[in-house]
Amino acid sequence: MISKTIQNRRAVYPAQYNTKPISKEEIQHLLEAANWAPTHKKTEPWRFKIFHSETARKKLADFLGKTYQEITENPSEFKRKKVQQKPMQSACVIAICLQRDPKESVPEWEEIAATAIAVQNMWLTAHELKIGAYWSSPALKDHLHKLTDFKEGERCLGFFYMGKYDQKLSEGKRKTSIDEKTIWI
């Protein structure tokens, strides 16, 4: 049942990933799920840049480490190493991008929301495949266009780190019930 998948999905971080690979078929399955997100006026604004091979992840890792050094006023060596390590701890990193409708036929927030739903579709599918994932939105995302081509009106919203994991995930909790967040009219 989908409600159990929603309740059991968790953020799983690169330090928790094992060394098992994620196949191209599994990634394609996640991307197909993403493509079924709802989208106003069918703008389908989600775009993904896949860093799957070790070479591609190393290229991303080096870029993130170098960019962190360049844009940070007082860079920390510890933080630089941590930023650079995440892609190498992951079996795949997907840059989550948004392609703004050139006609601006819908408000930008709707295209951001549609892209976020596409990522949620990927995340739920990943959970069912025992692939851990989490969405990170560091300031470094705003520089990705220096590493890979972006079309006019396209920008990066974050990185979706993924890897397989062995441990049992913690039980989900909410601070307040839905009743505390709901007013029936």
Max alpha carbon distance in the chain (Å)? 55
Position 1 scores a pLDDT of 80
Calculate mean pLDDT across residues 106-111. 96
Token pair for residue 63? 């870029």
Interacting residues of 25 by C-beta distance below 8 A, sequence separation 6+: none
The two counts, helices (H) then strands (E), for the chain are 5, 4
Task: Give the tens place of pLDDT for each residue, 16-43.
Answer: 999 999 999 999 999 999 999 999 999 9
Is 3 known as a binding-site position? no
Domain edges within the chain: 2-181
Q: Is 40 annotated as a binding residue?
A: yes
pLDDT value, residue 165: 96
What pLDDT, on a 0 to 100 scale, did the predictor assign at position 54?
98
Which DSSP state fits 143? G
- Work out the pLDDT band at 137, boundaries 50, 70, 90: very high
Distance separating the N- and C-terminal Cα atoms of the chain: 29
The answer to whether 76 is annotated as binding is no
Give the span between the Cα atoms of 116 and 37, in whole angstroms: 9
CATH 3.40.109.10 holds for 2-181: yes
- Within a 13 Å sphere around the CA of 78, how many CA atoms are in the beta-carbon half? 0
Residue 88's CB is within 10 A of a number of other CB atoms, namely 14
pLDDT tens digit string along 70-97? 999 999 999 999 999 999 999 999 999 9
Alpha helices in the chain (DSSP H): 2-8, 24-34, 54-71, 77-89, 108-128
Sheet of strand 92-99, all strands in order from the earlier edge strand to the far edge: 46-51, 92-99, 154-164, 131-136
* Model pLDDT, residue 42: 94
